Amino acid sequence: MIGILIAKFKNFIRNPWTFLIFTGMSLLMAFIFGGTNAQEVYIPISTVDKQIKDSYIGEQLEKEEGINFSWMSEEQLREKIETGKAELGVVLDNNTYQIIVGIDSHNTGLVEQIISRIYYEKQEQEKILTIVGQDETVIEELNHALEQPVFEIESATFRGEGAFIYDNSLHRIFGFSLFFVIYTIAYNVLPILIEKRGGIWDRLILSPVKKSEMYIANLLFSFLTGYFQVLVIFFFFRFVIGVNFYGRFVETILLLIPYVFAIVALAILVTALVKKVQQFNAVLPILAISMAMIGGAYWPIEIVESKILLLLAKINPLTYGLEILKGITVYSYSLQELLLPISILVLMGVVMMGLGIHFMERRHI
Amino acid sequence: MIELIDLTKKFKQNFAVKNLNMFIEKGEIVGLLGPNGAGKSTAISMLSSLVEPTSGDVQFENKSILKNPSSFRKIVGMVPQEIALYEDLTAEENLQFFGRIYQLRGKKLSKKVDEVLEQIGLTDRRKDIVKKFSGGMKRRLNIGVAMLHDPEMLIMDEPTVGIDPQSRNYILDTVKRLNAERQMTVLYTSHYMEEVEFLCDRIYIMDKGNLIAAGTKEEIKQIISSEKTVSIKAEILKHDFIQALEENPLINRVTVGEKEVTILVPKDANVFSEVIKLAETNGMELTSVDNKTPTLEDVFLHLTGRALRD
Ligand SMILES: Nc1ncnc2c1ncn2[C@@H]1O[C@H](COP(=O)(O)OP(=O)(O)OP(=O)(O)O)[C@@H](O)[C@H]1O
Ligand SMILES: [Mg+2]
What ipTM is given for this predicted complex?
Answer: 0.79
CATH of domain B2-220: 3.40.50.300
**Degrees to nearest 5, angle at CA A106 with A102 and A109:** 85
Give distance in angstroms: CA of B143 to centre of ligand 1: 22
pLDDT at B54: 92
pLDDT digits (tens, 9 = 90+) for A320-342: 999 999 999 888 888 888 999 99
**Backbone dihedral angles phi then psi of residue A86, each to the nearest 5 degrees:** -135, 150
Phi then psi for residue B143, to 5 deg, are -75, -40
Q: Global pTM?
A: 0.73
Is A155 a residue whose pLDDT tops 60?
no
* Rounded Cα gap, residues B144 and B154, in angstroms: 11
Residue A157: the pLDDT is: 39
| CATH code for the domain defined by A41-146 | 3.40.190.10
Dihedral angle sign, alpha carbons of residues A206, A209, A214, A217: negative
pLDDT at position A156: 40
From the list A3, A11, A15, the residue facing B101 with the nearest CB is A3
Give me the pLDDT at residue A143, please: 72
Question: For B178-207, what is the mean pLDDT?
Answer: 90
By the 8 A CB rule, do B258 and B219 touch? Answer: no
Is B185 touching ligand 1 by the criterion CB < 6 Å? no
Q: Which atom of ligand 1 is nearest to the CA of B81?
A: 27
Give the CATH number of domain B226-293; options: 3.30.300.20, 1.20.120.160, 3.40.50.720, 3.30.70.980.
3.30.70.980
For residues B144 and B142, give the distance between their C-alpha atoms in angstroms, rounded to a whole number. Answer: 6
Asked whether the predicted pLDDT for residue A152 surpasses 90, the reply is no
pLDDT tops 90 at residue A187: yes
Domain boundaries, chain A: 2-36+165-363, 41-146
Contact B97 A3 (CB under 8 A): yes
Average pLDDT rounded to a whole number, residues A98-111 = 79
- Among partner residues B84, B100, B149, which is closest to A202 by beta-carbon distance? B84
Q: What are phi and psi of A341, to 5 degrees?
A: -60, -35
Q: B8-16, long-range: CB within 8 Å, 24+ apart, which pairs? A: B8/B53, B8/B54, B8/B55, B8/B56, B9/B39, B9/B42, B9/B43, B9/B46, B9/B51, B9/B53, B9/B54, B10/B54, B14/B209, B15/B39, B15/B209, B16/B42, B16/B209
Q: Which residues of A14-53 are buried (b: 16+ CB within 10 A; e: fewer)?
A: beeebbeebbeebbebbbeebeeebbebbbbbbbeeeebb
Instruction: Report the C-alpha gap between B180 and B189 in whole angstroms.
Output: 19
Interface test with B, best of A206, A210, A361, A363 (most B CBs within 10 A): A206
> Is the Cα dihedral B190, B193, B199, B201 positive or negative?
positive
Nearest residue (by CA) to ligand 1, atom 28, is B37
Tell me the C-alpha distance between A61 and A54, whole Å.
10
- Is pLDDT above 80 for B304? no
Is pLDDT larger for residue A60 or for residue B81?
B81
* Most informative mutation of B40, B47, B161, B204 for ligand 1 (most atoms within 8 A of CB): B40
B109 to chain A, any CB pair closer than 8 A? The answer is no
> How many whole angstroms separate alpha carbon A43 and alpha carbon A108?
10
DSSP B161-203: TT--HHHHHHHHHHHHHHHHHH--EEEEEES-HHHHHHH-SEE
d(CA A61, CA A77): 17
Which of A107-121, A237-251, B27-41, B228-242 has maximum average pLDDT?
B27-41
* Residue pair B188/B31 in contact by the 8 Å Cβ criterion: yes
Chain B residues with beta carbon closer than 8 angstroms to that of A209: 101
Does any ligand 1 atom lie closer than 6 A to the CB of residue B8?
no
User: How many residues are listed for chain B in this entry?
Assistant: 310
Signed CA dihedral, A22, A24, A28, A31: sign only: positive
Instruction: Say which amino acid occupies A205.
Output: I
What pLDDT, on a 0 to 100 scale, did the predictor assign at position A290?
A: 92
- Residue B228 to chain A, least CA–CA distance (Å): 42
Facing residues of B263 across strands? B230, B254
The model's pLDDT over B91-123, given as tens digits with 9 standing for 90+, comes to 999 999 999 999 999 999 999 999 999 999 999
pLDDT of residue A305 exceeding 80, the answer is: no
pLDDT in tens, A157-167: 343 334 456 67
Q: Where are the domains of chain B?
A: 2-220, 226-293
pLDDT digits (tens, 9 = 90+) for A196-228: 888 899 999 999 999 999 999 999 999 999 999
Average pLDDT along chain A: 84
Q: Considering only A57-66, A344-353, B222-231, B300-309, which range has the smallest mean pLDDT? A: B300-309
Nearest CA-CA distance, residue B109 and chain A, Å: 13
pLDDT at residue A146 in the model: 66
